[in-house]
A and B are shown apart, each in its own frame.
Chain A
Amino acid sequence: MAAQNHLIEILSASDRRRLLAICDTVELVLGQVVCEPATSTRHVYFPVDSFISLVATVAGSPGVEVGMVGREGMLGTQLALGVDATPLHAVVQGSGTALRAGSAAFRRELARSASLRRTIDLYIAIMMAQLATSAVCLRFHEIGPRLARWLLMSRDRAGADTFRITHEFLAYMLGVRRVGITAAATRLQRVGLIEYRRGLLTVLDRRGLEAMACPCYAADLRSYSDRLE
């Protein structure tokens, strides 16, 4: 079986079959908005090699990323909480495929399978931990370590060391000005941790980047492996 979404992989064979039966494979494109605040959730997404940013916005500011969803997770957990809409924007940050299920069909599966519910609940707990990390990270950490964390999170979800990204997009995600990103990225490049050319970013030294990242990166990984691996 091809590499898939981790939440689906860890289901029992019968739950997995049933869930896959209600999913179709879709291509998600960089910048695509897959969920908007205050609109009914029509689909849930299980990214395979795409990944999605959760962005909280405030009036007059462009917003900031508060979470990231890739093959380790899903978009649309609010359905499992009996809620139809969320106040967050979901924007595709890495193009690729995802498995998509309709809301009603997904709700039926949740109602049917306690083990699916349990898996999603655990993932919700992981997402909440990620939100908590983000809140504190945004308060305390400098742009350099935050950028390193963000690059590692993206790399893990892209499943590749090279991905397409612009400084504008990075600035938007991290909630800082573009010049701040450029300066921080230049520093990472100068010490040989990344290479950035013509919109393509390559992680050259993963360990080095980990050493540079704020502890939030490791905290998120721990929180995930404590619950779902």
Chain B
Amino acid sequence: MPHSGIDPKANQLLAALPEGEWQRWHPQLERVEMPLGQVLYESGTTLSHVYFPTTSIVSLLYVMENGSSAEIAVVGNEGIVGISLFMGGESTPSRAVVQSAGQGYRLKAQAIKEEFNRAPVLHLLLRYTQALITQMAQTAVCNRHHSLDQQLCRWLLLSLDRLRGDELVMTQELIANMLGVRREGVTESAIKLQKAGLIQYARGRITVLDRPGLEGRSCECYAVVKKEYDRLLPATVAS
């Protein structure tokens, strides 16, 4: 049965915790609303919490000195935001922004550090880190070689996988920021997808009408990332 956003186990990493960890973590998990555009942390700042999205999606953006930014990875109910807390260095080079409103749970920095220092180390979090590394590397190569049309499809599919419905509440401005392109470019691409009957865009809502069609138009980066996540992480949430 699907978990609701109110259940922490709607997050796949939390759902896959061994019983002992779950018993320790559960009382410390704090449920949070994650509204669209909320900044969970800025690059270069010290993280106070890690976040486990349940129904929200968080975008990790790399911000350059001149202020322009581009997304390097997305994190949804399959993952955790703030791995740098246990992977070294208190701060992170990225900014984490809620890209799709919803809920999640958070755990204080101190708590996750203590958990990570326990033996045995939480293998699941390590494997998730490797999956995230793959996503980042693929984003890099995608930025070089693929058209905006393909990238938009990839981005929509990665987002959809992290949501329950076929609908994404999203402005084109925000997508442009994520993809590091001008808004006009996103508008053009979105119109093409709409004309082809793959999506419908109205009043800040994108509805996916033809998912296989979207997959057909996406660059392979979507499939590469998905395959790696499937390989490295257990599909713990019943679908």
Residues in chain A within 8 A of chain B (CB atoms): 54, 56-59, 61, 63-64, 66-67, 78, 80-83, 86-88, 117-118, 121-129, 131-136, 138-140, 175, 215, 219, 223, 226-227
Instruction: For chain B, residues 48 to 93, give those with C-beta under 8 angstroms from any C-beta of chain A.
Output: 60, 62, 64-65, 68-70, 72, 84, 86-89, 91-93
Residues of B within 8 Å of A, CB-based: how many? 44
CB of B189 to closest CB in A, whole Å: 16
The reply to whether A128 and B140 contact each other, CB–CB distance below 8 Å, is no
Can you list 23 A-B contacts (CB < 8 A)?
A56-B141, A58-B145, A64-B140, A83-B127, A87-B137, A87-B138, A87-B224, A121-B88, A122-B89, A123-B88, A125-B87, A125-B88, A128-B87, A131-B72, A131-B133, A133-B93, A134-B140, A135-B70, A138-B141, A140-B64, A140-B70, A175-B144, A226-B89
The chain B residue with its CB closest to the CB of A125 is B88
> Are A136 and B70 in contact, CB atoms less than 8 angstroms apart?
yes
Chain B nearest Cβ from A147, distance in angstroms? 14
**Does B17 count as interface, using CB distance less than 8 angstroms?**
no
A57 contacts across to B, CB distance below 8 A: 141
B134 CB contact (under 8 Å) in A61, A87, A121, A122: A87
Question: Is the pair B139, A135 in contact by a Cβ cutoff of 8 Å?
Answer: yes
Residues of chain A within 8 A of B92, CB atoms compared: 129
With both beta carbons as reference points, the residue of chain A lying nearest to B146 in the complex is identified as A58
Residue of B with least CB distance to A223: B93
C-alpha gap A54/B133 in the complex (Å): 12
Whether the Cβ atoms of B126 and A129 lie closer than 8 Å is: no
Instruction: Give the nearest-CB partner of B151 in chain A.
Output: A139
Q: Which residues of A contact B137 (CB under 8 A)?
A: 54, 56, 66-67, 87-88, 131
* With A63-B141, A138-B143 as contacts: A58 and B70 at CB distance below 8 Å: no
Shortest distance in angstroms between B187's beta carbon and chain A's nearest beta carbon?
19
Residues on B with beta carbons closer than 8 Å to the beta carbon of A56: 137-138, 140-141
Interface centre among A59, A67, A138 (most CB of B within 10 A): A138
Q: How far is the CB of A217 from chain B (nearest CB, A)?
A: 12
A215 and B65: CB pair below 8 A?
Answer: yes
CB <8 Å contact, B145 and A175: yes
Q: Are A219 and B126 in contact (CB under 8 A)?
A: no
CB-CB under 8 A for A136 and B64, given A87-B137, A118-B88: yes
Instruction: Give the Cβ gap from B92 to chain A, nearest Cβ, in Å.
Output: 8
The distance in angstroms between the C-alpha atoms of A135 and B61, with both chains bound, is 10
- Given known contacts A124-B129, A128-B132, is B93 in contact with A66 (CB within 8 Å)? no
Point out which of B64, B69, B221, B232 has the most chain A C-beta atoms below 10 A from its C-beta.
B64
Within 8 A of A (CB), among B117-150: 121, 123, 126-127, 129-130, 132-134, 136-146
The winner among A57, A81, A118, A219 for most chain B CB atoms within 10 A is A81
Chain B nearest Cβ from A136, distance in angstroms: 4
Whether a CB of chain A sits under 8 angstroms from the CB of B220 is yes
Chain A proximity of B152: nearest CB distance (Å)? 14
Bound complex: CA of A93 vs CA of B164, how far in Å? Answer: 45
Could you say which residues of chain A place their CB within 8 Å of the CB of B221? 58
Q: Is B228 an interface residue (CB 8 A)?
A: yes
**What would 16 more interface pairs be, CB under 8 Å, given A81-B130, A124-B133?**
A58-B219, A58-B220, A82-B127, A87-B228, A118-B88, A121-B87, A125-B84, A125-B88, A135-B62, A136-B64, A136-B70, A140-B64, A140-B70, A175-B144, A175-B145, A215-B65
Q: B213 interface residue, CB < 8 Å from A?
A: no
A63–B143 Cα distance when bound, in Å, is 11
Which 9 residue pairs of A and B lie closest in terms of their CB atoms, listed nearest first? Answer: A122-B88, A125-B88, A135-B140, A56-B141, A131-B136, A175-B144, A81-B126, A139-B143, A81-B130
Is the CB of B12 closer than 8 A to any CB of chain A? no
Q: Which of A59, A81, A138 contacts B144 (CB 8 A)?
A: A138
Q: In whole angstroms, what is the CA distance A76 to B130 when docked?
A: 11
Q: Nearest Cβ distance between residue A21 and chain B, in whole angstroms?
A: 24
Check if B232 sits within 8 Å of A131, measured CB to CB.
no
Q: For A81, what are the chain B residues with a Cβ–Cβ distance below 8 Å?
A: 126-127, 129-130
A184 to chain B, nearest CB (A): 15
Q: In the complex where A59-B220, A219-B93 touch, is A139 in contact with B70 (Cβ < 8 A)?
A: yes
Please encode chain B, from 210 to 234, with 1 for each CB lying within 8 Å of some chain A CB and 0 for all others: 0000000001110010001000100
